[in-house]
Structure 1
Amino acid sequence: MSDQTRHSLKELQRLDEEIEIARQRIRDFGDHIADVEEPAIALESEVGKTRSRLQELKVEERRTELAAKEKGTRVERLEERLKGVRNVREEAAVSAELEMVRRALESDEQEAYSLLDQIRKISLQLEEQESALEQAQAEVGPRREELEQERTDAEKGLEDLTRKRDEFAGTVSDGELRMYEGIRRGGRRRAVAALTEDGACGHCFNVLPLQLQNEIRHGADLIRCEACGVILAQPSQAEIEAEADAEAAAEAAAEAATAAAAAAATAAAAAEAGDADGSGEDGSGDDA
């Protein structure tokens, strides 16, 4: 594979990775906005439920009030009727009915008072909830606008990346592009990987036969890893240097860890020896 082909495919892969990151970032904005709006939405739901409950209580109180009024009218009529009874039997019947209606009236009046008390309490609760909702909406508005603006900016950035990607794809040969995009469509995030210094695939680290290694390093054909299917390329000088730096850093970290462990062991041994000496001196003093 030529240096130009290797560079082109890796640059195409870099752009595709940036595009995927940008798309995920845009998708995440939906969750961020939902998180910001959630407190206000929850309060709005509570306000709606409280309003409905308040309306139900008002309807029930009005119904009870009308029923009490109707019973009050019946009480008045029965009292008038009681004044005009002609015999004891009729008086007893009217009196019994009057007493029954009075008890029903008293029950309705007590229920009406109870409903009015509930209406008063829920009205106060509704005022508090509406105040909290108003405050939450005032806080949500600016943050939501900020996130929506960031999402708009991210969408514009994605458009720019997509345009660059399309322009760059036009510089890659049809065969190379088909192979590259076929690998990407297969679900792999990486379609191109560098051959490691020891001749392994930089994606799955499967060691390749020497013949394939030589073809990758010196040939012009596109060669795919037999294990994972990515396109293999000779690493650039920058990648070689980066790998060497990473190995050196890992070795230095391992040496530092070994030295630290040795120092800790030495310190622990010294402390243990000091404790033993102190115990011996205490024992000698006791014998004396």
Structure 2
Amino acid sequence: MATQKKSAEVDYSMQEKILALYELQKINSRIDEINKVKGELPLEVQDLEDEMTGLRTRIEHINAEIEELNTLTKQRKREVDQARILIGNYKEQQNNVRNNREFDAITKEIEYQELEIELAEKRLKEYSAGVKAKKLQLEEAEAVTAGRAADLEAKKAELAGIEAETAPQVARFEEEAVRVREKIDQRLLAAYERIRNNVRNGLAVVTVKRDACGGCFNRIPPQRQVDIRQGKKIIVCEYCGRILVADPESEE
């Protein structure tokens, strides 16, 4: 049973793991170069999509505000109609009053309703002006949205064309990366990915050339170079933190 398990799992040496890391770096660098063809397109597409989301939200808010103003307009118009009905009723009652006190009381009610009508009509004018202003804002927002939508479709089409053209190459390199990753344990892979994410050019593994780190170009001491060539352990640059490997071509 133990023999079967050992045959199924290959025990790679540290030197083989280091070389596999270097090979993985070369593959990832090729993928990075292909992705550079896209330039700023992915970010531009994302920015346009975010802007479109904001514009749609703005349009929804404007429409909601217009709807609210229309609702208030209907409400005020009903209040005006009800006030006019009351005024008509009060005027009929004035014809049947028995004394001046009743007449004065009804007159005050009529004056109150007339004031209510005046106030409501003032509000109606404000609502009407508000609706006009909101409709102008809506037209502007819709025009901007239409322009951004056209830009977004163009950018998406351009990006899709580049991705379709480069997809076979990327797929091939990713298959190679999977094969190489099998030689590297998870701890080393995690360290490799962490360094790649922390450096600007994505170079986590670099060679020593002309006695210097291939990432930051700081000098590497001779004894450290000997340790790197021996490949018995992972050695990182004390200046930039990249993993250092001997240049296979110079070694040959």
The TM-score normalised by the length of structure 1 is 0.60
Shift of 1:184: 4.5
Farther-moved stretch of structure 1 (10-19 vs 75-84): 10-19
- Going from structure 1 to structure 2, the CA distance change for 1:224 and 1:24 (only over 3 Å counts) comes to farther
Bigger relative contact order, structure 1 or 2 (CA pairs below 8 A, ≥6 apart): 2
Shift of 1:51: 0.8
Share of identical aligned residues, percent?
Answer: 18
Match of 1:34 in 2: 46
User: What secondary structure sits across from 2:222 in the alignment?
Assistant: coil
Match of 1:186 in 2: 191
Amino acid at match of 2:190: R
Please tell me whether the aligned partners of residues 228 and 245 of structure 2 are also in contact (alpha carbons under 8 angstroms).
no
- Going from structure 1 to structure 2, the CA distance change for 1:5 and 1:178 (only over 3 Å counts) comes to closer
Match of 1:72 in 2: 84
Please tell me whether the aligned partners of residues 223 and 232 of structure 1 are also in contact (alpha carbons under 8 angstroms).
no
- Going from structure 1 to structure 2, the CA distance change for 1:87 and 1:148 (only over 3 Å counts) comes to same
Shift of 1:34: 1.6
Tell me how large the CA RMSD over aligned residues is: 4.0
Unaligned segments of structure 2, at least 5 residues: 1-15, 196-202
CA distance in 2, matches of 1:150, 1:137: 20
Q: Larger Rg: 1 or 2?
A: 1
Match of 1:233 in 2: 246
- Going from structure 1 to structure 2, the CA distance change for 1:215 and 1:71 (only over 3 Å counts) comes to closer
- Going from structure 1 to structure 2, the CA distance change for 1:23 and 1:182 (only over 3 Å counts) comes to farther
- Equivalenced residue count is 221
Please tell me whether the aligned partners of residues 59 and 138 of structure 2 are also in contact (alpha carbons under 8 angstroms).
yes
Please tell me whether the aligned partners of residues 22 and 154 of structure 1 are also in contact (alpha carbons under 8 angstroms).
yes
Match of 2:199 in 1: none
Counting only pairs closer than 5 Å after superposition, residues 52-201 of structure 1 correspond to structure 2 as 52-151=64-163, 153=165, 156-167=168-179, 169=180, 177-178=183-184, 183-187=188-192, 188=195, 189-191=203-205, 193-194=207-208, 196-197=209-210
CA deviation map 1:230-251 (0-9, x unaligned): 46436635x99xxxxxxxxxxx
- Going from structure 1 to structure 2, the CA distance change for 1:33 and 1:74 (only over 3 Å counts) comes to same
Shift of 1:48: 1.7
Amino acid at match of 1:186: A
Task: Judging by fraction of residues, say which structure has more helix.
Answer: 1
Matched, 1:222 2:231: yes
